[in-house]
A and B are shown apart, each in its own frame.
Chain A
Amino acid sequence: MSYFSDIYNGVKTLLTGMSVTGKYFLHSRKGAITQQYPDNRDTLKMFDRFRGEVVMPHDENNEHRCTGCQKCELACPNGTIEIIWDRQVDPETGKKKKMIDQHIYHLGMCTMCGLCIEACPTDAIKWAQNFENSVYDRAYLTRVLNKPGSKLMPGVED
């Protein structure tokens, strides 16, 4: 007779569900995922995979890894990245070589798709985890990613 086994299974599954939510209830004090944002502004760290904005990391010698290959510029679906480059004489080898002057990133046009970061062959750009990106003037959203006076890290092109 399936009538009584239906009741038994019904009660059993309901209790299973309640035990799951009950566990959540008991752990809610420690495990709450809500951030009380303006209060913990100083300590709040976003998780690693959060896409805040594209940045170009520089090391302590003010060197970056961007060779100016423009693959990111080509990969970008909406023209967020502009690279201004020219050919200069490399002081070490004495040959003419492509070097970036400015790596311009328009945050206002970026959809955070991440195609530029995937396209970069030298891992020169990556995601930052900052999230307070609002500004009062649109002009502030245009950023130059390489710092003034920076140069290519030796050994990246090899």
Chain B
Amino acid sequence: MNITKNIHEWLFSLMPETTASIVEMALIAVVYLGIFAVAGLYLVLLERRVAAWFQLRLGPNRVGWQGLLQTMADALKLVSKELTGTFKADKFLYNLAPYFVIVTALMAMSLFPFTKELHAFDINIGIFFLIAISSIGVIGILLAGWSSNNKFALIGAMRSGVQTISYELSVGLSLLTIVLMTGSLQLSQIVEVQKHGWLIVQGHIPALIAFCIYMIAGTAETNRAPFDLVEAESELGAGFHTEYSGMKFAYFFLAEFINMFIIASIATTVFFGAYLSPFGITESIPLLGVFWFLGKTLLLIFLMMWFRWTFPRLRIDQLLVLEWKYLLPLNLMNLLLMALMVLLGLTIQF
């Protein structure tokens, strides 16, 4: 894009090359940080309104037009609150944990192609990097639960460990099914392949199964209902973040919503053609890609909210049965099916 190009040239004319590139990275980081912190806040609002509509309520609609400033006010309140901690808590790890969670969440955001140009970090192992980053987040949760010196927090953290390690497999394998078709892990390459039809259409049956498995496992990865036994309110208080208050709690809260956005974004990029418009109707206006990307992502986020307000929470043994006895074998069979399909050239391409 022109603006970014101009800034790029101006920076490089101003200072030596290494400093300029570092400044440029910092600038991009700040922009992304700003945008996604605010986006996270609005996701919280969206969740609350959607939850209300599912329950025939109205939701927050008093602060600003239709409650648009509600979460801003909440964030302001959280910033001004006292940061408390438990006696005998491991202070260093306790303070470190929220940053682990939020930083990994924001790091993953840099990989998504919002349009062809608006793509901050196009690494050649894109999907692999995303999976790796999203599993670092769980270390933050484990640290939080371990260092809080609270039994509820510890149980929540251990459940999170079990859950994330199990479902990580399904996320990885379902994405691998799709990678068989694209032949590349780079996100820009994956989008390029989808110019001949979105991958969920190209791969038809196995891709659809992979998408279903991905959505289930992705919901479990973000610790959202019906897999929210990490912070099961009725039995564990608030799970791993029981002892956190103020802004540190807000980091966990925000990270959960940003993670939801990430899971939906990965699905958008891999299954639904990222910024590509349906049937190529707006290919002439590249900037509209942002609109398509966010539209598809929000639709998938809505799907996850729909899950949350429909299904009851799973027990820990049911959770493990679902992963190890159902999702994993199905995923492996699906992978085999997809490999056969690609080998025999049975994919649909326009």
A interface with B by C-beta (< 8 Å):
7, 14, 17-18, 20-22, 24-25, 27-29, 31-34, 36
Contact = CB atoms under 8 A, between A and B. Distances in A.
B309 A21 contact: yes
Nearest to B330: A7
A66 to B, nearest CB: 41
Of B50, B52, B310, the most chain A CB neighbours within 10 A belong to B310
Interface string B18-42: 0000000000000000000000000
Q: Which interface class (under 10, 10 to 19, 20 to 34, 35 or more) fits B?
A: 10 to 19
A119 to B, nearest CB: 37
Interface stretch (B53-61, B168-176, B184-192): B53-61
A24 B54 contact: yes
Interface string B310-350: 11000000000000001000100000000000000000000
B306 A34 contact: no
B54 A34 contact: no
Q: Which secondary structure dominates chain A's binding surface?
A: helix
- The 9 lowest CB-CB distance pairs between A and B, nearest first, are A28-B53, A21-B310, A34-B58, A17-B310, A34-B57, A25-B54, A18-B310, A33-B56, A25-B53
A28 B326 contact: no
Nearest to B61: A36
A144 B52 CA distance: 43
B56 A7 contact: no
A25 B53 CA distance: 5
Nearest to A22: B306
Contacts of A14: 310-311
A22 B58 CA distance: 16
A31 B58 CA distance: 10
B46 to A, nearest CB: 13
Nearest to B59: A34
B58 A32 contact: yes
Contacts of A18: 306-307, 310
A33 B57 CA distance: 6
Nearest to B212: A11
Contacts of B330: 7
Contacts of A24: 53-56
A24 to B, nearest CB: 6
A29 B53 CA distance: 7
B31 to A, nearest CB: 34
A104 B56 CA distance: 41
Contacts of B54: 21, 24-25, 28
Nearest to B226: A14
